[in-house]
Every structure is written in structure tokens, then in C-alpha cells.
Structure 1
């Protein structure tokens, strides 16, 4: 990414009089939604007894919520008597997912990051040996910004987002060596990691700490911190977000200190589900 000058209060009792652990907080539709959310944690289904224990409400209350969900097609019951998310819920979820690209879901996070740090925030995906930028939000103010563009590309090994995504696929030195093959890695700056050994060590560190750093490896004077985004899969990142900063304005150590805050801004999008 090149730089460019730009100018310019109280709880309600349950309606059924129940006194379960959550009955004072989960009322009516709240109970139904609580049961729906809990069902999502049990892809193989869950029995009424277990669901009642986890929800913390009386069995009749949970049973009524399940009945409402079944009538709407949002829950189903199998031959064992176990409950799971219904086909109608899955149809709605997948239809919505297909109509809402991942970069649209991530954009509010990028806006929050750009506002918080006064630097550029990106969302990128891995495409072979390169990363492709799917979304970008510039800081709300500041004379110097990055000239990266949506659809633009950079070498994966030289970027924080690229290394973060590579770390999930290249877990051994042999894997890194095979990925490099007979095509030497481009040295974008004196800081770029261009050997299999150096890259393997960095990818291992990324897996251990959960985030990736670009210490002026793609362009002098620009560093970044990247974190994974789970927009399309509960286990594998669909892409990564980064705060890309001008080093004289926001140091790498400042970004590292804020890694937890960046992860918090990502919310559920930044959390894998097992």
C-alpha cells in the first residue's frame, strides 16, 4: 500500500409466576429467543431436560417456547425427542447469508476501527499467493492516507492480513517450502520475510498469539496489526481485518497494546465457534 497526500432497570416477573433462575429476566418473547439461541449450540439436538437446566427456567416455560418455535418452523424435534434448529430457520439464515456479502458485514467494524485509531482499516481475503482487499475505510481526518483500493492486491507474505490467513494453512516448514516452491518471495522492503525459515517462524508465532503484524514489511513507514474474521465459517477465517497505520503517527507497539480492543470491536465476527 502506497501513501498519498490527500487534501482536501428493574426486572419483570414471569407471566406464569415461575421462579426459575432466569424467569425474572426472560419474559415472553425473551424466553423464546433465549431458547432459540441455545438450540444453535446443539447441532445434533438437545433434550428438554438439558435445555431446561441450561436456560435456567421451569420445564413448562421452556416447553412452551419450543412449541412456539416449532409452530414457526424455527425448531424441530427428532425421533429421540431431541430439539434442534428447524429447516425454516436454516433456510432463512442461508438465504440471508448469501444475499449479504462478508465485506458488508465487516464494514461497520472497519468504520469503528478507523474512527478509533485515526488510521486506515482493511478487510482482505487470501487468493493464492496474494491478498485481495474487499473493503477499506479511511480515517475521518488526516492529510496523509493510504492509496490502497478495493480490489487491489499485495503479496500475502509481506502483509499482516496475508500472513494471518497463511498461518492457518501452512503449519509446517515443509508446507511453507512447498508453498514458496521455485518462485522466490518478493522483497518489498528490507523488513520483508523472504526465506521459508523466517516465514515459518513468524506464522508459528501468529498462531500462538492470535494476531499478525506487518512491521513495515510491505511498504516503508507503514505497519499494521491483523485479526481473523469468521464471516462465513465457524472454524476457518473468511478473511482478516487490519489497522494499517503510518508508523510516525501510530507505532506498532501502540497497535499491539490495542489488540484486545480491536478484537472486542470485531465482536462475534472475530470469534471461532467450535
Structure 2
């Protein structure tokens, strides 16, 4: 995804829950830059007046949720936030459970492997294994991406209950990243029906030119969507048909991850 900051993923969160919502929105925007950011840059993308934004930044800095460099005048995510993120990664993500299975899948296919979960209708990449010959791409662990034009996103959307799927579709930006990006909700619903039938999804250069992938959801015994795994490569290295030969390895990986989840209670899960 060739953009400076993906602030579309935080749109709608600012201020929805009073002061707490506003503060979280500011944290989202600081993190979205992916680098130290100045107050003037944040003000350009913030829905808040200058005084409100400054007050929120001061509070977040005092609480250790943001770090401030007085010499450069820049903000970065704070160490307290890092500690919380580490705890969340260990307790709330599939990454610790899936680690060995991603390693095995990576060795078997030799391509880039992603593990993702849904976060408010968007894709949160929680782990990644690079290919034997790495390919530059947007996705990295900890980054947020769109669900409607990524393989992992579509794999998860397809298996959501209807009401949850519709709620997630409403949150999509429908931005056209490439000529192949689907920007119509009805067309996406039709593709999600096919994905649900076939059990796997494809990204046909829909998010980044020259990047394609195959993906499958990680489902609990009761069919609940826990995450998704993808095998990703570049069109320079082969066609989508070439990638399809990895489907057996991919299915084995998601089945093994799901099997381990039976002995690990997902935070808001009440079934196996």
C-alpha cells in the first residue's frame, strides 16, 4: 500500500466515547505515521481544534502512552503503550499459539506468510514470516490494513455471521488501491459467498500492484472466526495458479492452529 499514513483505519473512532475515545484516536493517529511525528503534522489530520489536540497530547505524554522528544519536537508511542502492547500480544492474539505452525508453513512454501485478526472491521497483522527471497510489501506485524482488498481480510469477512459481516462492510473505505480493487459492497458480498463455499480467499493484486496471495480463515470448533493465514508472493515470481499449489500446506497450518485454540480460551470466546 503506497501511502504516507493509513489514517483511514482510525476514521470514526475519534471522540466516539468522550475523552477516552478522543485520546485513543490520537494514539491511533500517532502510530499510523510509523515514525516520529510533529504536532503540526498531527493537526493536519486531526478532527480536533489545536487546543484540544495539544491538551490530549500532553495528557497522553504525562501518562507514558506517548513519548516526546523536546529537541526534535516529535511524538512517538510511549513505553507504557509498548508494555501494554506486549501483554496484549501474549494474551489476546493468536501469535504465540501460531508461531511454530507459521514457522513450519514458511519452511514448506518458501514464501511470505502472514497471520492476521480482525480489528474493528480492519485487518491487524499480528505475525509475519518473510520469504526466502523477501518481497517489499506494506504488511508488517502490528500494522492495520483494509479487509475488503486483502486475502486475510476477505477470508475472515466471509465466515463472519451475517450481522457482523454487514457491520464490518460498513466500516470499509472502498478506496481503489489498484485497478483490481473491488469498490462495491454488493460485488464484495458475492465474492464472500464464493470464498465461504470454497474455503479460501485470493488477493489478485487488489491491495498492492504486483502482490498476490491465497488465504484461509482460522475457525474455532463452533465456526467462530479467530484469524486468518495467508501465503503471499509477487507476480514476478509466478502466477496465482502457482500459489495454489500451497493450499494443502496452508490448510494444514490453519487446522493445526485451530486445534491448539481448543486448549486456549480466546478472550471473548465461550465455545471451543
Is TM > 0.5 for Structure 1 vs Structure 2? yes
On the 8 A contact 1:171/1:204 being kept in 2, the answer is: no
| CA apart distance, 1:175 | 6.2
- Unaligned residue ranges in structure 2 (runs of 5+): 3-89, 263-271
Quote how far apart the aligned CAs of 1:267 are: 3.7
Normalising by structure 2, report the TM-score.
0.56
Query: How does the TM-score come out when normalised to structure 1?
Result: 0.56
Say if 1:206 and 1:115 are closer, same or farther in 2 by CA, change over 3 A.
same
Runs of 4+ in 1 over 6 A off after TM superposition: 271-274
The structure 1 residue matched to 2:106, chosen from 101, 114, 123, is 114
Match of 1:194 in 2: 183
Are the aligned partners of 1:119 and 1:246 in contact in 2 as well (CA < 8 Å)?
Answer: no
Unaligned runs of 5+ in 1: 3-97
**What's 1:239 paired with?**
227
Deviation at 1:237, TM superposition (A): 2.2
Deviation by residue 1:63-104 (Cα, 9 ceiling, x = unmatched): xxxxxxxxxxxxxxxxxxxxxxxxxxxxxxxxxxx8685211
The 1:151/1:183 distance shift into structure 2, 3 A limit, reads: closer
For the aligned residue pairs, the C-alpha RMSD in angstroms reads: 3.0
Q: 2:135: which partner in 1?
A: 144
Do the aligned partners of 1:171 and 1:203 also contact (CA within 8 Å) in 2? no
CA offset digits 1:35-62 (Å, max 9, x no partner): xxxxxxxxxxxxxxxxxxxxxxxxxxxx
Q: How does 1:240-255 map to 2 (within 5 A)?
A: 240-255=228-243
Q: CA deviation at 1:153?
A: 1.2
Give the C-alpha shift of residue 169 in structure 1: 2.4
How many residues align structurally?
175
Aligned partners of 2:104, 2:92: CA distance in 1, in Å?
Answer: 20
On the 8 A contact 2:93/2:126 being kept in 1, the answer is: no
CA offset at residue 125 of structure 1?
0.6
Q: Distance in 2 between matches of 1:175 and 1:144?
A: 31
Larger Rg: 1
